[in-house]
Amino acid sequence: MTEQATIENIIRRRMRGLYLSRACDGLETLAHDILGLHSWFSRNVPFSALIRGAGINGWKTRLTKTWLYRGTLHGVVYEDLPELLALSAGEQKFGCFSWLSKAYGADTIRDISNEVIRLIEDGVYSRAEFRRVFADQYESQVIDDVFSSWGGVFVYLARLGKVAFKNLASRDFDLIGAEPNESFDEVLPKLLRRYFTAYGPATFTDAAYFFGISKEDTAKLPKLPLDDLERLDFGGKTYYYGDAADMGDIPELTLLSGFDPVIVSYTSENRFSLPQEYKSKVILKSGICLPAIAVNGQVAGVWNIKKNAPIVEFFNPQPKRIENAAWEYVESIIWRTRDGLWPTTKSNN
3-state SS, residue 282: helix
Task: Tell me if residue 345 falls in helix, strand or coil.
Answer: coil
Whether the per-residue pLDDT at 310 is higher than 90: the answer is: yes
**H or E stretch at 238:** strand 237-241
Closest-CA residue to 196 (of 3, 26, 6, 33): 33
Residue 295 contacts residue 322 (beta carbons within 8 Å): yes
**Mean pLDDT score, 243-252:** 85
- Give CA–CA dist 9/248, Å, rounded: 10
- The answer to whether residue 342 scores a pLDDT higher than 50 is no
What's the pLDDT tens digit per position in 129-163? 999 999 999 999 999 999 998 889 999 899 899 99
Q: Which of 116, 68, 348, 113 is nearest to 212 (CA)?
A: 68
Element (H, E) at 128: helix 127-134
Given a cut of 70, whether residue 96 has pLDDT beyond it is no
Cα angle 224-228-234, degrees, rounded to a multiple of 5: 85
Q: Beta-carbon neighbour count of residue 301 at 10 Å?
A: 23
Angle between helices 184-199 and 3-17 (to 10 degrees): 110
pLDDT at 190: 94
Query: In the structure, what pLDDT confidence band is assigned to residue 339 with cuts at 50, 70 and 90?
Result: low
**Given phi > 0 = left and psi -120 to 50 = alpha, else beta, which region is 86?**
alpha
In the prediction, which pLDDT does 214 show? Answer: 86
Closest CA to 60 of 72, 49, 51: 49
Say if CB 214 and CB 259 are below 8 A apart. no
The H or E element that residue 102 is part of is helix 95-104
State the DSSP code for 108.
H
Average pLDDT value for residue range 224-238: 92
* Alpha-carbon span 229 to 294, nearest angstrom: 28
Angle between helices 184-199 and 204-211 in degrees, nearest 10: 120
- The HSE-up count of residue 52 (CA atoms within 13 Å, CB side) is 30
pLDDT in tens, 5-45: 999 999 999 999 999 999 999 999 999 999 999 999 999 99
Sign of CA dihedral 62, 64, 69, 71: positive
Decide: 43 and 67 in contact? Cβ < 8 Å.
no
CA–CA separation, 263 and 269 (whole Å): 11
Cβ 272 vs Cβ 199: under 8 Å: no
Q: What is the DSSP letter of 225?
A: -
Distance (Å, rounded) from C-alpha 200 to C-alpha 197?
A: 6
Helix 127-134 × helix 106-121 angle, to 10°: 120
The pLDDT of 43-64, averaged and rounded, is: 95
pLDDT given at position 344 = 40
Instruction: Tally the residues of the chain.
Output: 349
Q: pLDDT by residue (tens digit) across 188-205?
A: 999 999 999 999 999 999
Average pLDDT value over all residues in the chain: 90
Q: Is the peptide bond before 343 cis (omega within 30 degrees of 0)?
A: no
- State yes or no: pLDDT of 323 exceeds 60: yes
d(CA 115, CA 121): 10
The average pLDDT across 258-282 equals 89
Q: Is the confidence at residue 246, as pLDDT, over 60?
A: yes
199 and 266 Cβ atoms separated by less than 8 Å: yes
